[in-house]
Amino acid sequence: MSDETATIESPTREIDKVVIRLAGDSGDGMQLAGARFTDASALFGNDLATLPNFPAEIRAPAGTLPGVSSFQVQIADFDILTAGDEPDCLVAMNPAALRANIGDLRPGGTLIVNEDAFDERNLAKAGYDSNPLEDGSLQGYRVIRVPMERLTKEAVKDTGVSGRDVLRSKNFFALGLLAWLFHRPEAPVIEWVEKRFADKPEIKEANIRAFRAGFTYGQATEAIKVTYVVPPATLPPGTYTNVTGNTALAWGLIAAAQCAKLPLFYGSYPITPASDILHELSRHKNFGVRTFQAEDEIAAVGAAIGAAFGGSLAVTGTSGPGLALKSEAISLAVMTELPLVVVDVQRAGPSTGMPTKTEQADLLFAMFGRHGEAPLPVLAVASPSDAFGMAIEAARIALRYMTPVLLLSDNYIANGSEPWRLPKVEELPDISVPFASKPNSPDGRFLPYLRDLHTFARPWAVPGTPGLEHRIGGLEKEAVTGNVSYDPANHQLMVDTRAWKIRNIANDIPPVEVEGDEDAELLVLGWGSTLGSIRAAVRRVRSDGEKVATAHLRHLNPFPANLEDLLERYPRVLIPELNTGQLRWLIQAEFLKRCDGLNKVTGQPFRVAEVEEKIREILKEAR
């Protein structure tokens, strides 16, 4: 609530943005309540960005710190870029949720607590010696104590739910209270509950009643004197939806298949945080999508390679540990020059690491994680809605250049959401490539490695085509014929050709665009999910009259052709990344340009303030 100075007489204050965080046990339904609040806000017309944060355990021990799950959303009446650095309003469902999140709440912020959960047992589990609701430690906040469990029980009695199910509706009570406090429309929530629980009438009824009870409690209580409204944002005209990165990526793959006029094949093995792509795609069989939940990561990529040989738009999706397992097979796709999209939704590593936390530490693995000289294009998604277009772009490059393509996303993009101005379907690009249909040699033979003179791609001849029977494989290929070859000069030629084919793609990708001042001292260069934090930080610094520029890379191999000139134009370059400096390493190696890094590996995205501070520090040094 950035506008605390508005008149107190008014029962409703208009504010330009607010950051809300819901926190509770991982079984408390905080993700669900957050998603409903987000959707209601999206339909209301706000700009928004979300940051879910949950433990890897499905049900960590109740009431403990490791079991805390939270969902943060920022809603605004203007174009925002992140889910916000610190919440203005925190809902804490139990002492552990309070303890884990109170440090982030803005001084003077609103704290809504479920006071029923603050008994001795829960306080002890959270490690509190005394009750923070009583001991004065929350004095710096506006604390609203709500007996949520008691009121939820009251609301859902006679609905038929019993036992433990009674209290499961308390997330809807909290949601109802928030809906009242922030003037959210009730209809989208009610409609969603009616649809979602259509076959469980008692639960449907209980959730609706709890939601309404929360809303009514807000109206009746004296504890809350002011409500807030964030007016709709003035976004560019169009039709909008709210979308998560994994959903946008799945839809992008479906769109890519349509744009390529090919059936989509998706081979995958369940892994956090990529599984939702498999779930989403498996629902859309009427698009001709074939999903294959393989026995392991290797089989998933193997099956995709088989489907690529057969003429599908073949995709495999995973996260870091799975990408490691797929490495050998991706090299096979490099050697056989088959089109394949490999999606890596990055998470904090190494090894199992922190599977539900975000990180950008697979970049160098994506670049180099193969044996032999095995270059391939690497692309990165910059935000949840960006995943749609980048899926199409990855498919375009894979098909046009007959190569595997690595598309990087990450946990923050995958589970975060934002409004997406929908593209016009009929304006999506045509990325289709023709299959080879007849022999390409004057003597009537088919030469599987006779390349296109512009793209260096080899022809794609799919089984079932008479006269084009041929064999491909992992052994080195003789140029043109594709026969097995151990000839030294041929190997040199083929390694060079495969490398050149990838480098040449630089001429077929959009130049990287700069936002900000052409004549600035500093360029802030980013990639992936840091887009929002970087842009917001740069805008803040520029609004103070400082000169700074920013550019965001979606193509990481090859780099856009104009990147070198761009780097030369700015004396200082700052590269913020959620790793220990992987893009910086690449840029410095490729362009011999010393860059500054801002690096963080906490499993959390950058706060805007962190990036802002670093930019100011460098500008100060430069003066």
Partner 1 sequence: MTYTRADFQTDQEVRWCPGCGDYTILASVQTFMAEMGLPKEKIVFISGIGCSSRFPYYMNTYGMHTIHGRAPAIASGLAASRPDLSVWVVTGDGDALSIGGNHLIHALRRNFNIKILLFNNQIYGLTKGQYSPTSELGKRTKSTPFGSIDYPFNPISLALGSEATFVARTVDMDRTHTQQMLEAAYRHRGAAFIEIYQNCNVFNDKAFIQITGKEERLHNRIDLREGEPIVFDGGAKAVVFRDGRCEVVETSSVDPKEILVHDPTREDPTIAFALSRLSHGPFGPTPLGIFRKVIRPTYEEQINRQLLEAQSRFGPGDLDKLIKSHGTWQVSG
Q: Which of residues 404-423 bind partner 1 (CB under 8 A)?
A: 421-423
For residues 449 and 478, the answer to whether their CB atoms sit within 8 Å is yes
Mask for 42-71, x = binds partner 1 (CB under 8 A):
xxxx--------------------------
Name which of 132 and 419 has its Cβ closer to partner 1. 419
Contacts of partner 1 in 113-152 (CB under 8 A): none
**CA angle 619–569–383, rounded 5-degree value:** 75
312 binding partner 1? (CB under 8 A) = yes
Regarding beta strands 549-553 and 514-516, do their DSSP bridges make them parallel or antiparallel, or are they unpaired?
A: antiparallel
Name which of 450 and 512 has its Cβ closer to partner 1. 450
290 binding partner 1? (CB under 8 A) = yes
Residue 378: left if φ>0, alpha if ψ -120 to 50, beta else—which one? beta
Sheet hosting strand 290-293, strand order edge to edge: 290-293, 264-268, 313-318, 340-346, 404-410, 378-380, 555-557
| CA nearest to 117, candidates 109, 125, 108 | 125
Kindly report the backbone phi and psi dihedral angles of residue 529, in degrees, each rounded to the nearest multiple of 5, phi listed first: -75, 0
Interface residue with partner 1 among 110, 258, 383, 557 (CB under 8 A) is 258
Q: Which stretch binds partner 1 (CB under 8 A): 19-27, 79-87, 168-176, 471-479?
A: 471-479
Smallest distance from partner 1 to CB 83, Å: 19
432 binding partner 1? (CB under 8 A) = no
293 binding partner 1? (CB under 8 A) = no
Long-range contacts of 293-297 (CB under 8 A, 24+ apart): 293/268, 293/269, 294/267, 294/268, 294/269, 295/269, 296/269, 296/325, 297/269, 297/271, 297/321, 297/322, 297/325, 297/326
| CA nearest to 606, candidates 527, 532, 516, 514 | 532
Burial state string for 99-111 with b = 16 or more CB within 10 A and e = fewer than 16: bbbbebbbeebbb
Q: Which stretch binds partner 1 (CB under 8 A): 220-228, 229-237, 501-509, 517-525?
A: 229-237
Two structure tokens written together for 82: 């992140």
Smallest distance from partner 1 to CB 181, Å: 22
Give DSSP secondary structure letters for 142-172: EEEEE-HHHHHHHHHTTSS--TTHHHHTHHH
Contacts of partner 1 in 529-558 (CB under 8 A): none
304 binding partner 1? (CB under 8 A) = yes
Name which of 105 and 243 has its Cβ closer to partner 1. 243
Contacts of partner 1 in 154-213 (CB under 8 A): 188
| CA nearest to 377, candidates 529, 168, 560 | 560
Strand-pairing partners, residue 200, are: none
429 binding partner 1? (CB under 8 A) = no
483 binding partner 1? (CB under 8 A) = yes
Interface residue with partner 1 among 310, 350, 429, 571 (CB under 8 A) is 310
For residues 185 and 44, the answer to whether their CB atoms sit within 8 Å is yes
The single-letter code of the amino acid at 280 is E
Q: Which stretch binds partner 1 (CB under 8 A): 61-69, 70-78, 220-228, 257-265?
A: 257-265
Interface residue with partner 1 among 240, 269, 527, 559 (CB under 8 A) is 240
Smallest distance from partner 1 to CB 623, Å: 41
Contacts of partner 1 in 378-397 (CB under 8 A): 388
Q: Which stretch binds partner 1 (CB under 8 A): 79-87, 168-176, 238-246, 433-441?
A: 238-246
Name which of 115 and 297 has its Cβ closer to partner 1. 297
Interface residue with partner 1 among 25, 39, 88, 115 (CB under 8 A) is 39
Q: Which stretch binds partner 1 (CB under 8 A): 221-229, 310-318, 361-369, 572-580?
A: 310-318
Strand-pairing partners, residue 318, are: 344
DSSP state of 94: S
Interface residue with partner 1 among 105, 179, 224, 299 (CB under 8 A) is 299
Distances, alpha carbon 11 to alpha carbons 7, 44, 222, 227, 228, in Å: 9, 20, 12, 6, 8
Interface residue with partner 1 among 166, 468, 514, 537 (CB under 8 A) is 468
Name which of 103 and 237 has its Cβ closer to partner 1. 237
Torsion, CA 143, CA 144, CA 145, CA 151, rounded to 10: -160
Those residues with Cβ within 8 angstroms of residue 123's Cβ, 6 or more apart along the chain or in another chain: 95, 130, 131
Rounded Cα distance between 232 and 230, Å, is 7
Smallest distance from partner 1 to CB 188, Å: 7
Interface residue with partner 1 among 179, 230, 329, 361 (CB under 8 A) is 329
Smallest distance from partner 1 to CB 47, Å: 10
Mask for 81-100, x = binds partner 1 (CB under 8 A):
--------------------
Two structure tokens written together for 8: 């107190």
Interface residue with partner 1 among 215, 265, 527, 559 (CB under 8 A) is 265
